[in-house]
Amino acid sequence: MYNQDYKVELPCFPEREVSIAEYGAKSGEFSEEAGRHNAEAINRAIHEVSEQGGGMVRIPAGIWAVAPIRLLSGVNLHLDSQAMLKFIKSKEDYPLRITSYEGQDCIRTVSPITAENVENIAITGEGIIDGSGDKWRPVKKFKMTAKQWDALFQISPYVIETKETEIWMPTESILEGNRHNIQGTTEEALAAAAPYYDFYRPVMVSLRYCKKVLLQGATFMNSPAWNIHPYFCEDLTVDGVKIRNPYFAQNGDGIDVESCTNVHIHHSTFETGDDAICMKSGKNAIARRIEGPCSNVYIHDCLVNEGHGGFVIGSEMSRGVKDILVENCTFVGTDVGVRMKSALGRGGVVENITLRNIHMSEIKGEAVILTMSYVLNSLNRNETIAMENEEDIPYFRDLSMENIEVTGCRQFTKLEPLQGRPETIRNVVVNGQKLV
């Protein structure tokens, strides 16, 4: 169970405040040149405020084109009401690097917003961060109306066909990147992948190894891949934010909390193209080499209007997920309400999870599904998983769900343990009934 006696530590900032306009940033023009100019101004303001001991870097009202920016210790990036940071997309500004995505090290471009190995940081205010994800994301035909699908061809003519559907590609380089699918973690792999940079689309907000992080009030929208990805962070607070992606946004997760400790997510709204509120902790045996369960997480008073899953654990859970309380939340129109997913090969344990006072409406599939049969099928790539030893067996245990109210779903609960291993899901109680 989440330790309710622990209070997640918030960042604190000196009274110092600067406006990006003081550093030469200009609103009202959307071009690569304007984005680079504004990014230079914003990054310079962040650097100087951090060097001086911290404070607020303020984004005034207006639409500010911007290239990638990096948060530093002691800085509160504050967006005034009617302020929008809208990120440009260009090969020069999004170099490839080795980072973590979907639970393993891989090639991705730099994120629009990055913070790494810093503390006392925040993104606050009533403004908007727009990742221009529509310029990065493929689109599956079956998710669109005929009119919407036809409109995509005004942007690009590139399509691939799979067994499942046709998939539209925003650029030729994304199309060719999908065909070559260059992977690896070496300099040679990075060089070979470089011509197809936008195939390796980034998470929008990447927070890595950070302490005392606050996201408050702002709208985070239109991300290239996942919207917000905290990774090995401590003392993370998400308060009153709005996270938005269109329903057809490929990999358009809301927030993916990976191997973080002491997390408080509350009074926030999610509309996403994939899982909305998701807990992760790495994938397969390679992830288990690093100690780092996702633990001590409190989620409450949140609304999920759309998404694959309202509250989700996995499928990347190999370092473990434990001690989580989710309460007083509403899920409307999601594919699944509560989903915990894993597969043979993952290993790891999901345990001590409590959900209570969860209200669901018009769930397209299961209200609650626990499955060990999750396999990722992405474009023309299939993931095959094999067990090498007992450590590759994942487990779900000690799960309690109380007062789960559902008006409309295909099936209330569904449990899928590993074939021949029923004990991989055990001690599950839903609305007072012990299921296993």
Active-site residue flag, 275: no
Q: For strand 261-266 and strand 309-314, is the pairing parallel, antiparallel, or unpaired?
A: unpaired
Q: Residue holding tokens 């989440």? A: 2
CB neighbour burial string for 263-292, b if at least 16 within 10 angstroms, e if fewer: bbbbebbbbbbbbbbbbbbbbbeebbeeeb
Which H or E run includes 432?
none
The one catalytic residue in 130, 253, 256, 274 is: 274
SS3 38: helix
Compute and round to an integer the Cα radius of gyration of the chain.
21
Residue 20 has phi, psi (to 5 degrees) of -65, -20
**DSSP output for 288-345:** TTS---EEEEEEES-EEEE-SEEEEEES--TT-EEEEEEEEEEEES-SEEEEEE-BTT
N residues, the chain: 436
Question: Which two tokens mark 221?
Answer: 């929208």
180 is catalytic: no
CA torsion sign for 340, 268, 87, 228 is negative
Q: Report the run of H or E that residue 131 belongs to, with start and end.
A: none
Closest CA to 301 of 324, 323, 330, 279: 330
Catalytic residue among 235, 308, 335, 392: 308
With 0-12 / 13-18 / 19 or more C-beta atoms within 10 angstroms meaning exposed / middle / buried, residue 79 is: buried
d(C-alpha 228, C-alpha 357), whole Å: 26
Q: Is the peptide bond before 315 cis (omega within 30 degrees of 0)?
A: yes
Q: Hey, what long-range contacts does 150-158 have (CB within 8 A, 24 or more apart)?
A: none
Residues annotated as catalytic are 274, 308
